[in-house]
Amino acid sequence: MKNIIRILSYLLPDVIANFAYKQLTSPQIKKLRPNELETLDKAQKEIFKFYDFDIQTYRWGNGDKQVLLIHGWEGQAGNFSDLVERLLKENYTIYAFDSPSHGFSSKGQTSLFEFSELVGVLIKKYSVSKLVSHSFGGVATTVGLSAHPDIEIEKYALLTVPDRFLDRINDVSNRVGITEKVKQKLISRIEAESNVKVEQLNVSDYVKKINVKNALIIHDKDDRVVSIEQSERVSKNWQYARHKSIEGTGHFRILRTESVLEDVVAFLN
């Protein structure tokens, strides 16, 4: 398939650039595990209107402490089920959501910018000052917070975080098999729609602009989805962040690892 796409990239560059754009903006939905579905079933659910999307939101508990959980690209709120169960024991009110075209929210093409805008909207809606994100959720959150310097976050835990959005474009380009010329067309389209240069979409730059008092980044050395070097760059540019490297969890199991959950809860408390 990649060879066919590469040939068509030379013959029909605009068509293939549009195809690559759809790949970049159309998240694939992964099935949840039984325990993740069980945790979602316990939640109070509400549909929140956001542009043309019906956003599925979740609330657990009724404790004095409040936290918002932000999943990654092609993730969903259910991925945090183990953390939710731990936080309930710590007297938290926990909020989460499925971002546009993710999980149980309505489907359609979406983007980093819609995701990040929604994060800012929900932080204000729930009046939370504590956050936990996974993977690309950290990109959406830092971009969203940079647009709202009035939002003050007390504590923010990031379970892996990418740095450069260009890396995601490169990943999609390599996976699809497009040529460099088509990739540049894709970048031009993104820049025209967002009015932002792709080379400027770096978490390590956005964290300098956000109002976060204390941050913890936890990242596995053997993460094959997001290299640990990316979060290390973010940490070096973030005055209020502490970086912790771990082993044996990878990119997704980090959300279910007991020692990681203990670190997150202890940090938030």
Residue ranges per domain, the chain?
Answer: 43-163+202-268
pLDDT, tens only, 103-145 = 999 999 898 889 999 999 999 999 999 999 999 999 999 999 9
Strand order in the sheet with 92-97: 44-50, 53-60, 92-97, 65-70, 130-134, 153-159, 212-220, 241-246
- CA distance linking residue 79 with residue 37, whole number of Å: 9
- CA distance linking residue 232 with residue 235, whole number of Å: 5
pTM higher than 0.85? yes
224 phi, psi to nearest 5 deg: -95, -5
In contact, 100 and 140? CB cutoff 8 Å: no
- CA distance linking residue 104 with residue 116, whole number of Å: 18
For the 43-163+202-268 domain, the top CATH level (class) is alpha beta
pLDDT, tens only, 190-208 = 888 878 888 888 999 999 9
Structure confidence at residue 5 as a pLDDT band (50, 70, 90) = confident
